[in-house]
Structure 1
Amino acid sequence: MTTRIEHDLLGNRDVPATAYWGVHTLRAIENFPITGQTIGSYGDLIRALACIKQAAAQANRDLGILDPKLAQAIVDACEEIRAGKLHEEFVVDVIQGGAGTSTNMNANEVIANRALELLGHAKGEYQYLHPNEHVNLCQSTNDVYPTALRLAAFWGVLKLVSRMETLRKAFEDKAGEFKDILKMGRTQLQDAVPMTLGQEFQTYAVMLGEDEQRLKEASALMLEINLGATAIGTGITAHPDYAKLVCLHLSELVGSQLITAPNLIEATQDCGAFVQLSGVLKRVAVKLSKTCNDLRLLSSGPRAGFGEINLPARQAGSSIMPGKVNPVIPEVVSQVAYEVIGNDMTITMAAEAGQLQLNAFEPVIAYSLFRSAGHLANACDTLTEHCVKGITANRERLRQSVENSIGLVTALNPVIGYEAATRVAAEAHANGSSVAEVVLAHGLLTREQLDDILQPDMLTRPRWVTL
């Protein structure tokens, strides 16, 4: 293998001649063989880094502190990366020590070496364009890295919200399809009062809609950045006008209005926005899993369980029990939810562990956030396409459960009173009779009165009955 020699604080190292990364990245590869997942596998993070480096080059050019020719080479290299090129050169592990320095230097080196090529120089000829002196000008890992995380998290959440919208619409479609199917609602797994299957599915849609809004609100926190803070927020080594100018350029590049944090020292050490966003992701996970628990329960059986709905059969369910089909899609979604809940704890502890002017544990925050948003998006996709769209109702089973349920007696409370209704319920339960049979046998109501009170379309909405 042909190599080139690069050097850093610790000495000289041989770097593959074809590599766009350099000695800092090489040491990170050796130091952090943790997850087996490189930062290059997170496309949004790499695009965010390229946007930041491009905006910085443009700002420094405008300020007259970066040669326009060098600035243009950096910009062109960043444009290529934003278009999807060279992502395979971002090779450091996503979890790393150093508060993200390895990620920042991986970006600096790749951009510098590609810019050198565009200028007609060889990789590693840093006397012409340097990763630190030019690509990283007016910057620190401590403002570049958290800003990149925020942008990547923002984009990831937007994708998740889009998938949630699709899932919500699938539930809404089913709510319309099932709007006239009466069933028994349950509290604490016991018969309660009638509702429609459509109302049940509309509830799932409403829950998703609420969480979409909460995610949009939390993701807006990601648009406050600390570029210009440099090392700890004082802005040392940055031009006085750099923070304002780089924010303008970056806003234009990403298509969102970014704002510079009002107190850069606070913004550089505080990870509260990540904690808040993760908390909303956990909320989404909890409610998705609750919905999947319901789907599994409602489809249980099919003969010895609830058996009220049918989930699409996706695969054979057992290596020993012929004909068994399991609710594998709700099961996998719930497992994603458990992962997200665990990720939230990781993010919480990593945010708490930050000391003094910097949190060194942002890499694991990033890893956890990206997985939570990405896996939830995938879970929403599979739940939509492989489960919800194909759900059918067992209408006869649902009709029988309503007719045989003692829960119907609740509708008689305003007419015969709680005490009489209680006696009716007890007798019906003891004798295996229906509520209607007991009421008529005791002459509490006429058939016409009973039929009026127990009209299916009247049982699922507010109504005050008088005789």
Structure 2
Amino acid sequence: MKEYRTEHDSLGEVLVPADAYYGVQTHRAMDNFHITGIPLSQYPRLINALAYVKRAAAEANASLGLLDEAKARGIARACEDLVSGRLHDQFVVDVIQGGAGTSANMNANEVICNRALELMGYAKGEYEHLHPLNDVNMSQSTNDVYPSALNIAIILELRELMDAMNHLRKAFAGKGGEFCDVIKMGRTQLQDAVPMTLGQEFSAWAVTIGEDLQRVGEAEGLVYEINMGATAIGTGLNSHPDYVRTVTEKLVEHTTLNLKSSPDLVEATQDTGVYVQLSGVLKRVAVKLSKICNDLRLLSSGPRCGLGEINLPPMQPGSSIMPGKVNPVIPEVVNQVAFAVIGQDVTISMACEAGQLELNVMEPVIGHSLFQSMNMLRRACLTLADKCVSGITANRDRCRELVENSIGLVTALNPHIGYEKSAEIAKEAMASGRSVYDIVLERGYLSREELEDILKPENMVSPRYVCRS
């Protein structure tokens, strides 16, 4: 028979499993919110961030003479346990919940309280010795605890995302160097344009990821502003006049992050603009990654009836009916991640817009959506780099063949014979199937030596000064 303990709140009594570290309010939230099936335990950095906040608050309250030193030490030790990864399974509330994150805050208060009681030599639920609200939640409200913890967790997640993006950038840059001598045809509107190198194509993707890496870093800088000490709406009700400064200093000490208090806590408590900004940058990353994956799929199309300029590493059989078919499954999955991130951006935009007066109660879905986007993008970058880009090879002969047979070579003749004659040559080449080279030579527009120099693909992949007399 499972054993229970009786706990109560303002709504009455509830039976809680005797071995649970959570309490009555967490138990009610478990009953109320069967939404995603994803508990808070799936976001360990958010749990750690809540622990940082609760420890900083306890130590700040103790230093200001508001909380008994023994209680503060018990809370701090319990928070250390959480940061080390213990008791995360006790964070059982669904990540999407009503109440602006109150259930998440109470889940943290109760787990920390009961673990601290245990460390202090008491039984779980003996709240006369240490109380989840009166002590663990002292000088706090969900409305400053949850967003402050959310920001700390976001910073930690963003750092891993940026590491993954940089890993992918280096993979593309490496291929850019490897393919620097592979001449191929560039395309615009899916039509032949002018020659380039495959190395230039891959290097351009490395540069675009590097630019997005900078944008993510800029957005990260906005997340360091927190509203700890705001309590309910930003006025700091029920807190000491020096609490904001003290709790922020403690948070900086324990997280080693350069956190700073908002200059206007009323504004900070109701404003979620930073999440709109960050989500927009994540969407930008997703859009750019998806475009690159579209290109990889096009360039590797075939193997015989497509462009076939590059080979993606074969990862798995591609069909249950077509033997030998191998699909570009890694770019495909990254495309799908991009679609999900773009959708999450819409969710975040709507949730941020839904704020009313002094608070935005939609922060749980904002946080959940941001974590989903950051986690998926991080995994997508690592997967794309390690399971696709690093193994790409070039079909050098195919690239060269397409260049030499392309009408696009005629563009290089513009500075030498003019646009109209170049257009006539292109038209005739299309109609007759003959090469640009043969038609120009036949018409006597240029000598063989001049043509060989002008139409040499290697001479068309960078700026070249032409003197026309």
The answer, yes or no, to whether TM exceeds 0.5 is yes
The 3-state SS of whatever aligns with 1:303 is coil
Segments ≥4 residues shifted beyond 3 Å: none
Matched, 1:389 2:419: no
- Paired residues for 1:280-359 under 5 Å: 280-359=281-360
Are 2:159 and 1:187 equivalent residues in the alignment? Answer: no
> Partner residue of 1:165?
166
CA contact (8 A) 1:74 1:111 kept: yes
Name the Cα RMSD after superposition: 0.7
Distance 1:38 1:427 in 2: 67
In the TM superposition, what is the alpha-carbon distance from 1:151 to its structure 2 partner? 1.0
Separation in structure 1 between the aligned mates of residue 348 and residue 204 of structure 2, nearest angstrom: 30
SS in 1 for 2:14: strand
Contact residue 311 and residue 327 of structure 1 kept, 8 A:
yes
Could you list the per-position Cα deviations for residues 122-148 of structure 1 after superposition, in whole angstroms to 9, with x for gaps in the alignment?
000001100011111100000000111
Confirm or deny: 8 A CA contact 1:140 1:230 kept in the other structure.
yes
Q: Distance in 1 between matches of 2:464 and 2:246?
A: 62
Q: Deviations over 1:17-75 (max 9, x none)?
A: 10000000000000001111100110110000000001111111111111111100100
Runs of 5+ consecutive residues of structure 2 not aligned to the other structure: none
Aligned residues of 1:311 and 1:392 also touching (Cα < 8 A): yes
Amino acid at match of 2:49: A
Q: 2:70 is matched by which residue type in structure 1?
A: K
State how far apart, in whole Å, the 2-side matches of 1:52 and 1:149 are: 10
Alignment match, 2:458 = 457
Specify the alignment match of 1:213 in structure 2.
214
Q: TM-score, normalised by structure 1?
A: 0.99
- The CA deviation at 1:121 is 0.5
Q: Is the 8 A contact 2:58 2:72 kept in 1?
A: yes
CA distance in 2, matches of 1:225, 1:387: 39
> Counterpart in 1 of 2:420?
419
Aligned partners of 2:220 and 2:318: how far apart in 1?
A: 39
Tell me the residue number matched to 1:255: 256
| Letter in structure 2 aligned against 1:195 | M
| In structure 2, distance between residues paired with 1:5 and 1:179 | 71
Q: CA deviation at 1:404?
A: 0.4
Listed as ranges, the matches of 1:42-441 within 5 Å are 42-441=43-442
The reply to whether residue 445 of structure 1 matches residue 451 of structure 2 is: no
Identify which range, 445-454 or 173-182, moves more after superposition: 445-454
Secondary structure of 1:183 counterpart: strand
1:8 counterpart = 2:15: no
Moved more, 288-297 or 433-442: 433-442
Please, which moves more after superposition, 57-66 or 88-97? 57-66
Same amino acid, percent of matched pairs:
63
**Within 1, Cα distance between the matches of 2:257 and 2:107?**
26
Tell me, in whole angstroms, the C-alpha distance in 2 between the residues paired with 1:26 and 1:326. Answer: 47
Deviation at 1:447, TM superposition (A): 1.1
Give the aligned residue type for 1:298: L
| Alignment partners' CA distance in 1, 2:64 and 2:442 | 93
Secondary structure of the residue aligned to 1:368 is helix
Q: CA deviation at 1:454?
A: 2.3
- Structure 1 contact 227–246 (Cα < 8 Å) conserved: yes
Distance 1:193 1:178 in 2: 17
Report the secondary structure of 1:191's partner residue. Answer: strand
Aligned-pair CA distance for 1:251: 0.9
Deviation by residue 1:317-354 (Cα, 9 ceiling, x = unmatched): 10111111100000000000000000000000000011
8 Å contact from structure 1 (residues 424, 439) kept in 2: yes
Change (3 A) 1:466 1:451: farther
Pairwise CA distance, 1:455: 2.9
Distance in 1, matches of 2:134 and 2:449, equals 90
AA aligned to 2:175 is: K
Question: 2-side partners of 1:456 and 1:248: how far apart?
Answer: 62
CA distance in structure 1 between the partners assigned to 2:327 and 2:382 by the alignment: 19
In the alignment, structure 1 segments of 5+ residues that lack a partner are none
How far, CA to CA, are the matches of 2:14 and 2:430 in structure 1? 83
**Rounded Cα–Cα distance in structure 1 between residues aligned with 2:249 and 2:11:** 38
Aligned residues of 1:414 and 1:464 also touching (Cα < 8 A)? no
For the residue of structure 1 that corresponds to 2:13, the secondary structure is strand
Report deviation, 1:456.
2.8
- Whether the 8 Å contact between 1:453 and 1:465 is mirrored in structure 2 is no
* Equivalent in the alignment of 1:466: 467
CA deviations on 1:153-206 (whole Å, 9 max, x unpaired) are 111111111001000000001000000111110000000011100000001100
Deviation, structure 1 residue 457: 2.7
| Residue pair 2:403, 2:457 contacting (<8 A) in 1 also | no
Alignment-mate amino acid for residue 194 of structure 2: V
Q: Secondary structure at the match of 1:306?
A: coil
Deviation digits for residues 68-102 of structure 1 (CA, Å, limit 9, x no counterpart): 11100100000010010010001100000000000
Query: Does the CA-based 8 Å contact 1:51-1:253 persist in structure 2?
Result: yes
Distance 2:239 2:276 in 1: 29
Aligned residue identity for 1:49: L
Give the secondary structure class of the aligned counterpart of 1:195.
strand
Cα distance in 1 between the residues matched to 2:409 and 2:121: 83
Distance apart, 1:453 and its partner CA: 1.4
For 1:395 and 1:267, the matched residues in 2 are separated by 57
Q: How many residues align?
A: 467
Kept in 2: contact 1:21–1:109 (CA 8 A): yes
The Cα of 1:255 is off from its aligned counterpart by 1.2
**Cα shift at 1:407:** 0.6
Normalised by the length of structure 2, the TM-score is 0.99
- In structure 2, distance between residues paired with 1:248 and 1:423: 74
The code of the aligned residue for 1:5 comes to: T
Distance 1:428 1:133 in 2: 85
Provide Cα deviations, 1:407-436, integer angstroms capped at 9, x if missing partner.
111111111111111111111111111111
Q: Give the conservation status (yes or no) of the 8 Å contact 2:22–2:111.
A: yes
- Aligned residue identity for 2:177: G
Separation of aligned partners in 1, 2:306 and 2:51: 55
